[in-house]
Amino acid sequence: MTLFPEVVRAVLDSSITGRAQAAGYIKINTYNIRDYSKDKHRRVDDTPYGGGRGMLMAPQPIYDCYQAILKECAPDEKRRVIYLSPKGKVFTQETAKRFAGYDRLILLCGHYEGIDQRVLDLIVDEYVSIGDYVLTGGEIPACVVVDCVSRLIDGVLPAAECYESESLTDGLLEYPQYTRPPVFMGIPVPEVLLSGNHAKIDNWRRERAIEITRLMRPDLLGKKVCAADDESGGEGDKTAAGDEKSDIETE
């Protein structure tokens, strides 16, 4: 649900999400909130009660847009209404996994100075933020959510392995990767990757993932990572992660 469907379509009709739609693995609908305005000029905003700068999106067009969507929903489908807002919990890979379990996600994109609280209270199940900053509207965050969740749907990527070994999937950043040529600008590919010994390669990749996470995102190294490292027999410096509480959001 958006005032700018062309922004959403420009992003999501391309590349992997575009091909996934064409193949029928996912379906992305855009609903222009202006189409549900009862104002003769198709206005969807008004001045806020109590004063203040800017305009607020009015409740009626959003509510009627939502009701139109409900008419397309199957009675038994599992769905969730999400409002993209800085007030929400920060979107994570774990959130994406949870969202992938729904049959339908209904994303509400705000604009201007926000949305009348009454319609939010009536229809929204969850607020989601993509970071601690403010954008001009919810369209870009909505595209982020759709892109991230779509990659977890069967068939969208060639195999589950494409996302199971990525950054943040197991609480770590991804290990470095290399391709041909074996030497570039005098820098060789790590010898272990050319060895053909998959056990050593797996161990090297995990060690590098822990090393990179400790260097770039130490906030991700918590008890979850320490436990996984212990199980794998890794020899990394566990005191660095030690007793710190994990900052990974679990829902």
Write down all domains in the chain, each with its CATH number in brackets: 5-150 (3.40.1280.10), 165-240 (1.10.1270.20)
Alpha carbon distance 216, 168 (integer Å): 13
Alpha carbon distance 161, 156 (integer Å): 12
- Residue 172 CB contacts under 8 Å (≥ 6 apart), including other chains: 206, 209, 210, 212, 213, 220, 225
H/E/C letters for each residue in the chain?
A: CECCHHHHHHHHCCHHHHHHHHHCCCCCCCCEHHHHCCCCCCCCEECCCCCCCCCEECHHHHHHHHHHHHCCCCCCCCEEEEEEEEEEEECCHHHHHHHCCCCEEEEEECECCCECHHHHHHHCCEEEECCCCCCCECHHHHHHHHHHHHCCCCCCCCCCHHHHCCCCCCCCCCCCCCCCCCEECCEECCHHHHCCCHHHHHHHHHHHHHHHHHHHCHHHCCHHHHHHHHHHCCCCCHHHCCCCCCCCCCC
Question: Tens digit of pLDDT for each residue in 179-226?
Answer: 999 999 999 999 999 999 999 999 999 999 999 999 999 998 874 444
Q: Is 54 exposed, middle or buried (0-12, 13-18, 19+ CB in 10 A)?
A: exposed
Residue 242's pLDDT band, with cuts at 50, 70 and 90, is very low
Q: Is the pLDDT assigned to residue 151 strictly greater than 60?
A: yes
Question: Tens digit of pLDDT for each residue in 132-148?
Answer: 999 999 999 999 999 99
Percent of the chain with pLDDT over 70: 84
- Residue 64 CB contacts under 8 Å (≥ 6 apart), including other chains: 36, 38
Residue 53's pLDDT band, with cuts at 50, 70 and 90, is confident
Q: Is the pLDDT assigned to residue 235 strictly greater than 80?
A: no
Residue 227's pLDDT band, with cuts at 50, 70 and 90, is very low
CB 173 within 8 A of CB 167: yes
The pLDDT assigned to 198 comes to 97
